[in-house]
Structure 1
């Protein structure tokens, strides 16, 4: 196994930076370029978790920087290997010179995610925990941080391990029955107990799979589609919500021809806003494609902001509503009446279509009137349940797909037991369920899948 090095802090200039070295020769390589302030303080002789002050030198023993070197001994480090973390000044020149000295002394530059991959390979964490490291680094809201931290600490893994152990116990008994198939009177796996176990596991996996809708919303942002006729102020509203000019605003109808997305953190919750092309009849092929994508965004949204321009004909808007009404079922709808600054509040319209359960608010996207109130309304209708530290929520698509396959397998086990199917068929479905649960934590994952997961990490992690 080679010894690797990389800058672990964010790219660019800063007060300090950290260069991480990990591998079997970490101490030996670092001793070649590290000059401790006190004689006899070579890193290879230091105890674990000690800090040593000194200098890093380059060619001709010229000092590059004064640093602090932290020593971590295997297996008690992030990677499970001997590790040195060099804290230097944050100059990009200094960082690169230290890396060059390490490479000249026998290191190689780490691949993206290689530190975390080594931690996984060395048994410091399972695959679901490793993926949570990336989620923790990328977290931008309290909800994302809480879920990533919970998964990284192993709550999800422990739940899966318990299910797998129960399944393995009964699978081994079923396999034992098959070994003694000549003695049909023998039944090592009690079918009644197995049926009870299958029902329990089905409930647990179903609950985990169902939690993905909440977890995905927290991780990627609650999808909010801004829908309306052309020139109703949708792009202006998106810019007002984001407080930046994300979308092009024009008086010309049909300016927005594609779906525009961006996220914003409101009161600790991430929202993913989708500005859509105005929906109308059109002969323009490009605009028609944008409208088609608008319908798709509407179908995928959890919350819909339905925009109405108060200066426009109400009958046209009501006709527009009839076109999209079937797509609003089971969605939280906020009816945003735009341009309220040019009309008195008393002139707000009464709509002919049913709006029970909807939330209505008068705004001015251009002058940003009542935008703060709209943001508060979004948090109130987001329908994200209050989560506790002990709650296990699935946020990863790969995990959700594996749970779905495991659920299908356990359903076949239940059906097999109900129809008194032979033990070899039931055993096969039990093994498949175990396989998919094991896939989540990385016990049966191929090198190709591992490579795809870890390449999305930053180099220093």
Structure 2
């Protein structure tokens, strides 16, 4: 599976910039680059020690392409585990293309997406879950997703799984050995110790499986649906949270006819806010489709914010509109009954238009009500702090292992299923040959996570999502 070609790619984003880095990796990387580089000190790359830099020119015969800084990594002491050269050139797209084309003319091949990291995995520089964490690290856009990716790159839960897999493999070997001496009725595996191991594995797998619910939202952003009647200020609230004019704001009811989503980081946690179409009876077909999507987004959201237009809750300057307040109470109760475990925030917008007496009346009628002014950004910071309180960051703060990858999650579920079968077999006193079947399957699913069990199709699917140059 390990391709012996020498590959080349731009490792920095394409386009103009201060510098660009061109990465070359493969058994002939240094030999290909050496004749194309003229050191200021007159030294050849072939003489350059590993992990050193040289300043010089990249040349195509007698034509100087650029003044560059070249890094050399020899043997297995590189990211990919094979000889690597990194060329730091000026950030001109033309210069970068010229150098890459020159290298390809001299024997390099254009790297595929994720091929450098694939080679790092194939050369034993990292396991498969660590390789996948590289893509997560590149994609991280807030402190939480960055920390999760870094945990995984350092080994994360795979170190724990590999240790358990080794223990299970040792017992599997003993059980297989018993099968060879079945006629002598010899027992090599201590059943009490084996039971303790199975219990330990069940606890670890269950903990990791449970962590996926937290890890998935921390990695992808916590979806927060902003719902309410038309023209209560949902789009203004979204703009206030994002600190920019992302959504169209208008006095015309029904302006938002589709869901608008954007993500921000609050306290290092990503939140994906969804401004939905106002919920009301309508004969407008397009607006009706938007309202249908609103209900779909409520189903998907982790947190729901219902926004009210506080001045509309009063019949006159002093008296509450009791009928309207009663309808809100019923609506809130229905939502909370339908989604009992989902955090729900009831906000009254346009507090700047209320007197203190009116605010007190509303608080008595709706005890959990909070006041904001999306236009003036009053109460926005308090809302952000409340959203943070809903996030279970305990595991993140404690640096515990958290599963964020759906492939890992699926493999953990299957591994736990097989381990539970082993447990049932022990309880029923099944023979060693039957236990061995389920143990082998559990080992298989353990290996799927770390890459000890893999195939070309799986690797192709994983690394196809990487950027070229990584």
Aligned length in residues? 455
1:331 corresponding residue in structure 2: 342
Cα distance, 1:292 vs. partner?
4.2
Map Cα deviations across residues 95-119 of structure 1 (whole Å, 9 max, x no partner).
1111111112111211111110111
Cα distance, 1:133 vs. partner?
0.9
SS in 2 for 1:438: helix
2:227 corresponding residue in structure 1: 227
The 3 A distance-change label for structure 1 pair 366 and 53 is same
1:11 corresponding residue in structure 2: 14
1:49 corresponding residue in structure 2: 51
SS in 1 for 2:305: strand
Map Cα deviations across residues 22-81 of structure 1 (whole Å, 9 max, x no partner).
111111211231111222x111221111111110013x4211111111110121100011
Q: Distance in 1 between matches of 2:282 and 2:336?
A: 20
Map Cα deviations across residues 401-447 of structure 1 (whole Å, 9 max, x no partner).
11111111111111121122232332211111111111011121221
Q: Distance in 2 between matches of 1:429 and 1:129?
A: 27
Q: Distance in 2 between matches of 1:326 and 1:276?
A: 21
Give 5+ residue unaligned stretches, structure 1.
none
2:262/2:273 contact within 8 Å kept: yes
The answer to whether the aligner puts 1:264 opposite 2:275 as a matched pair is no
1:276/1:290 contact within 8 Å kept: yes
The answer to whether the aligner puts 1:192 opposite 2:192 as a matched pair is yes
2:394 aligns with one of 376, 385, 388: 385
Cα distance, 1:352 vs. partner?
8.4
1:420 corresponding residue in structure 2: 429
2:395/2:402 contact within 8 Å kept: no
Q: Distance in 2 between matches of 1:177 and 1:286?
A: 70
2:358 corresponding residue in structure 1: 347
Cα distance, 1:287 vs. partner?
4.5
The 3 A distance-change label for structure 1 pair 47 and 197 is same
Q: Distance in 2 between matches of 1:264 and 1:445?
A: 37
2:404 corresponding residue in structure 1: 395
Q: Distance in 2 between matches of 1:286 and 1:173?
A: 67
SS in 1 for 2:226: strand
Map Cα deviations across residues 363-419 of structure 1 (whole Å, 9 max, x no partner).
122333322332233223333226357521111111111111111111111112112
SS in 2 for 1:444: coil
Q: Distance in 2 between matches of 1:169 and 1:249?
A: 65
Cα distance, 1:228 vs. partner?
2.0
1:405/1:433 contact within 8 Å kept: yes
The 3 A distance-change label for structure 1 pair 231 and 432 is farther
Greater displacement, 222-231 / 445-454: 222-231
1:78/1:119 contact within 8 Å kept: yes
1:108 corresponding residue in structure 2: 109
The 3 A distance-change label for structure 1 pair 20 and 280 is same
SS in 1 for 2:57: strand
SS in 2 for 1:409: helix
The 3 A distance-change label for structure 1 pair 280 and 301 is same
2:321 corresponding residue in structure 1: none
Q: Distance in 2 between matches of 1:153 and 1:12?
A: 32
1:298/1:327 contact within 8 Å kept: no
Give the TM-score normalised by the residue count of structure 1. Answer: 0.92
2:137 corresponding residue in structure 1: 136
Cα distance, 1:129 vs. partner?
0.4
Give 5+ residue unaligned stretches, structure 2.
313-323
Q: Distance in 2 between matches of 1:443 and 1:351?
A: 60
Q: Distance in 1 between matches of 2:110 and 2:430?
A: 56
Q: Distance in 2 between matches of 1:426 and 1:200?
A: 17
